[in-house]
Amino acid sequence: MVKKSRSPQRREDALSRDRIVEVAIELLDSTGEAGLTFRALSERLATGPGAIYWHVANKGELLVAACDAVIAEVMDSHTAGDTPADTIRALALGMFDAMDEHPWIGTALLQSAGQLPTVRLFECLGQQLRALDVPRSREWATASALLHYVLGVGGQNAANRVSAQSREIDREDFLGEVASAWAALDERDYPFTRSMASQLGAHDDREDFLAGIDLILGGIAARKR
């Protein structure tokens, strides 16, 4: 008797939570949050939904786990600056780049406010602020300002990129459209914005982001004098 060959869809490895999260990240990167379904996961993992539910209760929990996996990797890779300020810059840029690469993270973090992904970043930033001798009475406000800046600006940058992609235009064309709109504003009502129109197309998002971090760090240093 000739043995039947195994189906190519049959999984040969043991299903694990880490593997589920890994595939979930792949789906989120390629299709966005709307494409992350247990049916799509089942097809990618060549298993039934029940096996996935054994490890992850629902889509919300899976989103948090995927977000946490990305942020944990950033935290592990950017915590060795020469000074606390250098480490904060590295952590912030690492998050900026991660959110640019995985634009779904911004929304996922908003949905999981106060949970482990955000806590990881908050803890890392807070430890560096203590190393900078920020007074305990100002720790909360300072750490919150940094956290909200990193997540807000990083998330907006990612959202802008997704918006441009959905309209099938590149960054240069997208910024050109905005610059043209700014230049057409009434000069009496929007003198500053009109003056910035010529600079909009030439700016570097990462450099601008880091400039904001430096402004916050400069404020911390100034309050210590």
- CATH code of the domain covering residue 119: 1.10.357.10
Alpha helices in 12-135 (DSSP H): 17-31, 38-45, 49-55, 59-77, 84-101, 105-111, 116-131
Read off φ and ψ for residue 4, nearest 5 degrees: -75, 140
Let me know if residue 1 belongs to a domain. no
> How confident is the model at residue 97, as a pLDDT?
94
pLDDT at residue 201 greater than cutoff 90: no
pLDDT tens, residue by residue, 1-28: 444 444 444 444 578 999 999 999 999 9
State mean pLDDT over 191-200: 93
Let me know if residue 87 belongs to a domain. yes
Let me know if residue 68 belongs to a domain. no
Percent of the chain clearing pLDDT 70 (strictly above): 93
Let me know if residue 163 belongs to a domain. yes
CA 9 to chain centre: 33
Give 15's DSSP letter.
Answer: P
Let me know if residue 30 belongs to a domain. no
Domain interval for residue 207: 82-223
State mean pLDDT over 29-58: 91
Let me know if residue 48 belongs to a domain. no
**Higher-confidence residue: 165 or 75?**
75
Give the number of domains in the chain: 1
pLDDT at residue 156 greater than cutoff 50: yes
Enter the pTM of the model.
0.84
**Nearby residues of 142 by Cβ (< 8 Å), 6 or more positions away:** 129, 134, 216, 220
Let me know if residue 205 belongs to a domain. yes
Let me know if residue 189 belongs to a domain. yes
State mean pLDDT over 60-67: 92
> How confident is the model at residue 13, as a pLDDT?
53
